[in-house]
Structure 1
Amino acid sequence: MKSLIRRRPAGPEDTVPEDGQDWAVDSRPEDVGGWSSGAQANTSALLRWCAWALLILGPLLAVAALVAAPSGTGTPVAPAPPAPSTAGSQGSAGFAVLFVDAYLRAGEGDQEQLAAYYPDATVIRLEGEPGRRTGQQLTVVRLRQTSPGIWSVTVAARVRESGTSAAPTPKRTSAGRQQEAAPVPPAERLRYFQVPVATTVTGGTSGYVALSMPAEVAAPPRVTSPELLYGPQRPAAPTDPRTQAVTEFLTAYLTGRAGDIDRYLAPGTRITPISPAPYTGIAVDHLAVEGERGGEATTTVPADGTRLRLLVSLRATGSDTVRRPLAYALTLTARAGRWEIAELDGAPTPAPAPLATTASAAPTN
């Protein structure tokens, strides 16, 4: 074991070496516990430096905090209100459709069926024969959130009533016999019902309940159709290159004839024809062309890269030989002296909004 070097005071029995050395080597083994005196000195020095650092940095940190704090005289900025949540809208819409369907079919004794949607329906008085009135083609036409977790759903239904309360009056024949009256055809009318639906999430699962029975309301207002980008509808001239392009493309698209559809498409355009083909033939009747105001005949194709949007009206012949009207919004592009289909638009393009002009007031002296 390495000997420990320890300084000790000189005793009377000790003699000082001639070279002036005043310490001796202690070769006796000795166990030392804890820190050595050197480590204790180093730790004390480190603690002193930390204390001085805290004393110096404390005021500096306080000053920095005061500088960074916002001024109390400024206008406080209010937090932005949270955006209304759309969670539960789709489920509420479906729930309301089911409730209206059950409501229209309900008659005397059907309270329990309605209670599955509106619990208080058990105490509501129902009259009439169940199923006498039915709803068809139910669909949601309006959906709005009135409060957190509360949705107002307006459902349109084509309501059919299968009979009347009064018995039909029998008719008399010329021989004086009574003839049974013809059955009354079911009356059918489009009606609208508003349903308040509450939704909540419990254990990760959404739940719905109606807050009242449906309320019949007026039809939603009909809006004015916006102005479109196209000019007026005019007959599609067979000599017009645009008529030729759209006829060939729509024939391939709707009937599977006129060859491969890709030959009518601009490079990079991908359109898949309808399969199986629903029609046996088409006839293009009218075109409404972007920027066109007159009915002048067109027989030429402009320079390559020219793009043009138009609205096509046509009649398509089905397998029953009946012609049905259809309309397509298309974008064409010119290339190599002919028109090609660049896009099958999802909807007709509205006209750009006119620029707002403000008249500047003349300066007054």
Structure 2
Amino acid sequence: MKRVRRPRKADKKRVAEAEVWDDEVEEPQEEADAEPDETGWKTSTAHLAGIARLVRVGVWALIASGPALGVMALLGSSGAVHAAPKPIAAPSPGSQVGPAGFAQLFVTAFLEAGQGTERDLAPYYPGPVALAAKPGTRTATRSTVIASREVQAGYWSITVASDVTVQDDKGKPKRLGVQYFRVGIQAIGTTGAGGAATSAKAVTGYSATSLPAQVAAPAAITPGALAYQSERGSSSADPSVDTARGFLSAYLTGAAALDRYTSPGLNLQAISPAPYSAVQVTGVRDDAAQSVQQKVPADGAELHQLVQVQATDQAGSAVSLSYALTLKSRAGRWEVASVDDAPAISPSSAPSVAPQPTPSPDATTAKPSPSNS
């Protein structure tokens, strides 16, 4: 006996959908010679049914292709993001500390070297050197770097100021004053060492490219006017002067606690060990408008002072010092709010180049006075 296969639920569902589809598609046909509409096109039920079928197929095709279109759009946007150019990090400037220190050592050795000691310069400059001066004729009592410029990556122009002393033929020293020397320094290593290498394992080294060149001193300038226009003298009758005196005495000698004279929250320590045994205020200027400052204003008022003191060290020597202070009023008294980094400059003032002094005529070239006969 032949076994009959029972239809499954999925098969029944497909059959039902097919029947519905056929019911929707099989519309009664009209005659081919239907009347044309106002536009001149002939319309019929069969024609409309075909258009409906095409629209339905297009909708299903669009729905089916939705995931694919989404993936393509995602890939396209990802490609656009990866294709964007990455910003190039600007190279960090090299540090001048290493080349500057090397140049300072080179200039000091150069000033002290002479005929027969040229080899002392070999660690700084490997080129041929022939010196005519007597060794030790000139010495640099102190030197410091006053200017540096990176000419190109790893190549520096350094200017060194040296206080030079020279010895005459009898060995008597004579101070020539501060002289300025410029020298080119090449550096290898990382930017932190003044070089241009990117690897942290790069070897560090320096070399001068020539002997130093003596150059002119920087222009002398006249500083701008300070903001302290009112003179207070050193009278203790002024409460602000009395506060400055007590504070600086405690700060320089350790004779009292600083918090007696400072605003709450000021984190400041006295110099330790104390370098001075006594402090005397010799002059005070401030930016207050009143010619006489006898009363403490309301809380929160500020006063900027420039205080001149004469401090006596442990050996009994007097040392002149200047301090820029900012005072604030609180509870009827002045308190030191800060020890300023530098005296305040008047906003309307600017530095200017100082005029060069006129050289005095050389006595050896002056014409002798006519003698009386």
Q: TM-score, normalised by structure 2?
A: 0.67
Q: Which runs of 5 or more residues in structure 2 are unaligned?
A: 8-61, 82-86, 190-196, 350-373
Write the distance in 2 (CA, Å) between the matches of 1:261 and 1:57.
Answer: 73
Q: Of the candidates 303, 307, 312, which is equivalent to residue 312 of structure 1?
A: 307
Q: Does 1:247 align with 2:223?
A: no
Q: Decide whether aligned partners of structure 1 residues 57 and 151 sit closer, same or farther in structure 2, where only a CA change above 3 A counts.
A: same
How many Å apart are 1:58 and its aligned residue? 9.3
What is the match of residue 214 of structure 2?
Answer: 216
What is the match of residue 134 of structure 2?
Answer: 129
Q: Decide whether aligned partners of structure 1 residues 299 and 81 sit closer, same or farther in structure 2, where only a CA change above 3 A counts.
A: same
How many Å apart are 1:267 and its aligned residue? 0.9
User: 2:294 aligns to what SS in structure 1?
Assistant: coil
Counterparts of 1:1-365 in structure 2, within 5 Å, are 15-17=1-3, 20-21=4-5, 82=90, 85-120=92-127, 123-164=128-169, 184-201=172-189, 203-257=201-255, 259-292=256-289, 296-353=291-348
How many Å apart are 1:163 and its aligned residue? 2.3
Write the distance in 2 (CA, Å) between the matches of 1:298 and 1:208.
Answer: 59
Q: Decide whether aligned partners of structure 1 residues 283 and 61 sit closer, same or farther in structure 2, where only a CA change above 3 A counts.
A: closer
Q: Decide whether aligned partners of structure 1 residues 263 and 125 sit closer, same or farther in structure 2, where only a CA change above 3 A counts.
A: same
Alpha carbons 2:167, 2:174 under 8 Å: kept: yes
User: 1:135 aligns to what SS in structure 2?
Assistant: strand
Question: Which whole-Å deviations, capped at 9, do the CAs of 1:208-256 have from their partners, x for residues lacking one?
Answer: 1111110000111123313332215442222000111011111111112
Alpha carbons 1:229, 1:291 under 8 Å: kept: no
Aligned residues: 279
Write the distance in 2 (CA, Å) between the matches of 1:277 and 1:61.
Answer: 73
Note the aligned Cα RMSD (angstroms). 3.2
Write the distance in 2 (CA, Å) between the matches of 1:303 and 1:56.
Answer: 75
Alpha carbons 1:88, 1:206 under 8 Å: kept: no
How many Å apart are 1:126 and its aligned residue? 1.3
Write the distance in 1 (CA, Å) between the matches of 2:313 and 2:305.
Answer: 25
Write the distance in 2 (CA, Å) between the matches of 1:274 and 1:315.
Answer: 16
What is the match of residue 34 of structure 1?
Answer: none
Q: Which runs of 4+ in 1 moved over 6 A?
A: 57-65
How many Å apart are 1:139 and its aligned residue? 0.2
User: 1:253 aligns to what SS in structure 2?
Assistant: helix
How many Å apart are 1:344 and its aligned residue? 1.1
Q: Decide whether aligned partners of structure 1 residues 229 and 61 sit closer, same or farther in structure 2, where only a CA change above 3 A counts.
A: same
Write the distance in 2 (CA, Å) between the matches of 1:152 and 1:143.
Answer: 6
How many Å apart are 1:349 and its aligned residue? 2.0
Q: Decide whether aligned partners of structure 1 residues 247 and 53 sit closer, same or farther in structure 2, where only a CA change above 3 A counts.
A: same
Alpha carbons 2:230, 2:287 under 8 Å: kept: no
Write the distance in 1 (CA, Å) between the matches of 2:114 and 2:69.
Answer: 86
Write the distance in 2 (CA, Å) between the matches of 1:323 and 1:197.
Answer: 43
Amino acid at match of 2:5: Q
What is the match of residue 11 of structure 1?
Answer: none
Question: Which whole-Å deviations, capped at 9, do the CAs of 1:11-32 have from their partners, x for residues lacking one?
Answer: xxxx413xx2389xxxxxxxxx
Amino acid at match of 2:245: T
User: 2:343 aligns to what SS in structure 1?
Assistant: coil
Amino acid at match of 2:142: Q
User: 2:221 aligns to what SS in structure 1?
Assistant: coil
How many Å apart are 1:353 and its aligned residue? 5.0
Q: TM-score, normalised by structure 1?
A: 0.68
Q: Which runs of 5 or more residues in structure 1 are unaligned?
A: 1-14, 24-48, 69-78, 169-182, 355-365
Write the distance in 1 (CA, Å) between the matches of 2:251 and 2:320.
Answer: 15
How many Å apart are 1:64 and its aligned residue? 7.8
How many Å apart are 1:193 and its aligned residue? 0.4
Write the distance in 2 (CA, Å) between the matches of 1:338 and 1:286.
Answer: 20
Alpha carbons 1:289, 1:311 under 8 Å: kept: yes
How many Å apart are 1:269 and its aligned residue? 1.2
Q: Decide whether aligned partners of structure 1 residues 347 and 272 sit closer, same or farther in structure 2, where only a CA change above 3 A counts.
A: same
Q: Decide whether aligned partners of structure 1 residues 55 and 248 sit closer, same or farther in structure 2, where only a CA change above 3 A counts.
A: closer
Q: Decide whether aligned partners of structure 1 residues 218 and 281 sit closer, same or farther in structure 2, where only a CA change above 3 A counts.
A: same
